[in-house]
Amino acid sequence: MIIVGLGNPGNKYDNTRHNVGFMALDYLQSNNLGPDFSSNKYNKSLESSISLGGGTLQLVKPQTFMNLSGESLIRLKKTTPPSKILVVYDDFDLEIGSMRIRQKGSAGSHNGMKSIISILGTTEFPRLRIGIRPKHPIKGAASFVLGKFQSDELEIINKVYPCIEESISLILNGKLEEACQKFNKKNLLT
């Protein structure tokens, strides 16, 4: 299975809300003692691999900007069916501390997902959305998602990563519905 974490490349985007997909893959790689991410120029990505849930996962962080994320899957889709590609990304419509797993669906307003759907030619692939919306009102969603996490937000996100890891392990073992039932909650931390 391939896990694609979405984000924007470059140090200026480190720890931004839009890069929580990259951050989740960094957690998976570090927590499962995977090799360092290395550049794959053919896939326009940084890649690593880990063993999890009795299987091997290829971790892919596209190094195009968000709206071209699908370009990293052009070669990979030749050997991997969309049903075996799980995309992990931020969702402004979900409150921070929550996540949603789906077997398929639209891109909504997420440009990275629009690109991936365009390249794969289908909406029939699993996705895991990580909530980033704060409990307080904000002005300007675009600037908010490109802003860096505050320290209290990072504490919450760090507590969500083990749930992401467990849900991916379940999905890898053919238990997507069980992962949905267990983790598609309003807030994972309550």
Show the 3-state SS of 99-155: EEEECCCCCCCCHHHHHHHHHHCCCCCCEEEEEEECCCCCCCHHHHHCCECCHHHHH
Residue of 116, 114, 156 lying closest to 133 (CA atoms): 156
18 belongs to the catalytic site: yes
Q: Judge whether 88 and 3 are in contact, CB under 8 Å.
A: yes
Give per-residue burial for 52-64: e unless 16+ CB within 10 Å, then b.
bbeeebbbbbbbb
Q: How far apart are CA 78 and CA 187, in angstroms?
A: 37
Q: Judge whether 59 and 50 are in contact, CB under 8 Å.
A: yes
Residue of 70, 55, 80, 81 lying closest to 6 (CA atoms): 70
| 2, 4, 6, 18: the active-site residue | 18
Q: Judge whether 40 and 22 are in contact, CB under 8 Å.
A: no
Kindly list the catalytic residues.
18
